């Protein structure tokens, strides 16, 4: 039997404040699974925000360049509403640890219950399992070395941001 080809569009929502090597790892893996991947930077106010949504989108855009099938934009409000607007088939999320699983399960089940949308999880490489944007912001504010945890463009921006404080 010949299966009909199905075009699958995924969104990868998050705060990305800032994008880390862990996020990039999930993006690299995700793009092999989907025909189109939209990285969706949430505009809702987050605790201890470091970069504006515009800056966060800019950093992601610098990293994805003109990779085919990948784009970035910001969104406001509910992820499932945004997913519907984009006609996305799938929500992509990354998993680092068992602690993530509990929260992500709840989120994925809620999203499926309210909007019928599936969530696909990608496990990060071991080396990024401990990387989080929250820790990046904390380490940066204390002047720590982040060169192994974030891409170069993010590192440079963090340095500039911190030197202004
Ligand atoms: P949120 O603010 O909703 O927690 P984030 O912007 O921190 O979202 O992350 C978006 C997604 O990326 C989440 O699914 C999160 O679990 C995942 N993620 C974050 N850091 C990593 C990492 N180091 N490795 C794999 N996935 C990650």
Mutating to test ligand 1, I would choose from 14, 25, 38 the residue with most ligand atoms within 8 A of its C-beta, which is 14
Question: Quick check: 9 pLDDT over 80?
Answer: yes
Residues 6+ apart with CB under 8 A from 100: 94
| Model pLDDT for residues 129-138, shown as the tens digit of each residue | 999 999 999 9
DSSP 147: T
Alpha-carbon span 51 to 153, nearest angstrom: 13
Q: Is residue 1 pLDDT above 70, yes or no?
A: no
Phi, psi of 120 (to 5 degrees): -115, 130
Neighbour tally for 118: CB within 10 Å: 13
Q: What is the pLDDT of residues 10-43, one digit of tens each?
A: 999 999 999 999 999 999 999 999 999 999 999 9
Closest CA to 67 of 95, 89, 34: 34
Strand, helix or coil for residue 93: strand
**Structure pTM?**
0.93
Model confidence at 45, in pLDDT bands (50, 70, 90)? confident
pLDDT in tens, 112-164: 999 999 999 999 999 999 999 999 999 999 989 999 999 999 999 999 998 87
Ligand 1 site residues, Cβ closer than 6 angstroms: 14-16, 20, 22-23, 26, 93-94, 96, 100, 124, 128, 131-133
State yes or no: pLDDT of 3 exceeds 80: no
Torsions phi, psi of 95, nearest 5?
-120, 130
Is the pLDDT reported for residue 48 higher than 90? no
Nearest CA-CA partner of 23 in 41, 50, 48: 41
The string of pLDDT tens digits covering residues 72-87 is 999 999 999 999 999 9
**Confidence (pLDDT) at 2:** 67
Residue 4 has pLDDT above 80, yes or no: no
Residue with the two structure tokens 């862990």: 22
Render pLDDT for 59-114 as a digit per residue (tens, 0 to 9).
999 999 999 999 999 999 999 999 999 999 999 999 999 999 999 999 999 999 99
23 carries an active-site annotation: yes
DSSP string covering 9-58: EEEEEE--TT--HHHHHHHHHHTTT-SEEEEEEE-S--TT--S-HHHHHH
């Amino acid at each position: 039997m010949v299966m009909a080809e199905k075009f699958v569009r995924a969104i990868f929502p998050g705060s990305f404040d800032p994008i880390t090597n862990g996020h990039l790892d999930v993006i690299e893996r995700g793009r092999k699974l989907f025909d189109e991947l939209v990285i969706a930077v949430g505009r809702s106010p987050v605790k201890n925000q470091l970069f504006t949504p515009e800056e966060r989108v800019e950093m992601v855009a610098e990293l994805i360049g003109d990779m085919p099938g990948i784009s970035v934009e910001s969104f406001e409000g509910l992820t499932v509403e945004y997913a519907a607007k984009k006609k996305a088939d799938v929500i992509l999320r990354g998993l680092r640890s068992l602690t993530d699983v509990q929260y992500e399960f709840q989120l994925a089940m809620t999203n499926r219950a309210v909007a019928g949308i599936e969530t696909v999880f990608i496990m990060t490489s071991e080396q990024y399992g401990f990387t989080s944007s929250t820790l990046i912001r904390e380490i940066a504010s204390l002047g720590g070395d982040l060169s192994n945890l974030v891409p170069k463009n993010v590192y440079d921006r963090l340095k500039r941001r911190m030197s202004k404080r």
